[in-house]
Amino acid sequence: IVPIRSGDGREGKATEALLVSFVDLTQQRRVEQMRVDFIANASHELRTPLASLSGFIETLQGPARNDAHARERFLKIMGEQARRMSRLIEDLLSLSRIELNAHVMPEAAVDLVAVVGHVRDTLSPLGHERGVEIGFANSVGPVTVRGDRDELIRLFENLVENAMKYGGSGGRVEISIGRAENDVVVGVRDFGPGIAPEHVPRLTERFYRVDTAHSREQGGTGLGLAIVKHIVARHRGRLGIESTPGEGATFSVRLSGQFHQDEKSDVGTAA
Ligand code: ADP
């Protein structure tokens, strides 16, 4: 603690020093608390499928040993639980890799239209399975951004996957590429139930879900948007979330872009 003297003209300074160290400590505690919560949440998320796996192993070794039908059914569930654990571990590793490099801005020139097209092509078959059409409209033509291609793919995959997962069955997802001043804006829009305003500011927190059971049912880990937030930050971009409950949601990513064509001339990448 800084001694606060009076009457020697240093009063103000000492008070300031005291305040600064107090703020730092609060911030330090907050970071520490977040770290502790994160470890607790991650452990809990891993423990649940692990407990289920252990239970099924015991049942298969005991009561269900000679029941071929039960064995088949249990092995299917065990496979799903194992996949859930590996998805979670993959996401945890991605998050820590991105965080480790948080202060280094990736610098490669990336063709953003190709990245978004790739994401659409990769996810379209899954969309077909679920009866979801993925549309893509580009109103700016070719555009390059500085960044990391794989991370940008991951970012838009997460947003499109969410739009398919939460956008309601038989729906539509629209990806758009547009321009705002010197920035490029990629929007991912769905027409599902949307998100109530009180949840919006918390969506990018790790493990935050509006409906945990629904997220798990859809194969969610609760880390998708946390990963999105970190990738956007590393690219010095901005993430926007807009939603009118009952009408859908739009997630948009704004990045500094280099445009190669007059904005008015649409190159017709829309499908
Ligand atoms: P999850 O693995 O649960 O999908 P995310 O971090 O990707 O985790 O998303 C966090 C939560 O945000 C989801 O569980 C869901 O409740 C909500 N959410 C994300 N995208 C949408 C969307 N397009 N429409 C409605 N809710 C969404």
Phi, psi of 238 (to 5 degrees): -135, 140
Q: What tokens does 238 get? A: 């901005």
Whole-number pLDDT of residue 270: 44
Local structure of residue 211 (DSSP, 8 states): S
Q: Poorest-confidence range of 13-17, 103-107, 185-189, 223-227? A: 13-17
The pLDDT tens digits for 45-99 are 999 999 999 999 999 999 888 999 999 999 999 999 999 999 999 999 999 999 9
What separation in Å is there between the alpha carbon of 204 and the centre of ligand 1? Answer: 9
Confidence of residue 18 (pLDDT cuts 50, 70, 90): low
Which protein residues are within 6 Å of ligand 1, measured from CB? Answer: 162-163, 166-167, 190, 192, 195, 203, 208-211, 215, 220-226, 249
Q: In the chain, where do the E strands start and end?
A: 108-111, 133-138, 143-147, 172-180, 183-190, 238-244, 248-259
Q: Which of 193, 192, 160 is nearest to 174 (CA)?
A: 160
Q: Tell me the β-bridge partners of 255.
A: 184
Atom of ligand 1 at shortest distance to CA of 162?
20
What separation in Å is there between the alpha carbon of 71 and the centre of ligand 1? Answer: 34
What separation in Å is there between the alpha carbon of 162 and the centre of ligand 1? Answer: 6
Residue 1 has pLDDT above 60, yes or no: no
Of 87, 158, 203, which is best to mutate to test ligand 1, by the most ligand atoms within 8 angstroms of its C-beta?
203
What separation in Å is there between the alpha carbon of 105 and the centre of ligand 1? Answer: 26
Whole-number pLDDT of residue 2: 47
Whole-number pLDDT of residue 17: 63
Confidence of residue 6 (pLDDT cuts 50, 70, 90): very low
Report the sign of the C-alpha dihedral through residues 255, 174, 266, 109, in that order: positive
What residue owns the CA closest to ligand 1's atom 3? 222
Q: What tokens does 60 get? A: 């298969």
Within 10 angstroms of residue 162's Cβ, the number of other Cβ atoms is: 23
What separation in Å is there between the alpha carbon of 94 and the centre of ligand 1? Answer: 18
Q: What is the pTM of this model?
A: 0.86
**What element of type H or E holds 163?**
helix 149-166
Q: Tell me the β-bridge partners of 109.
A: 146
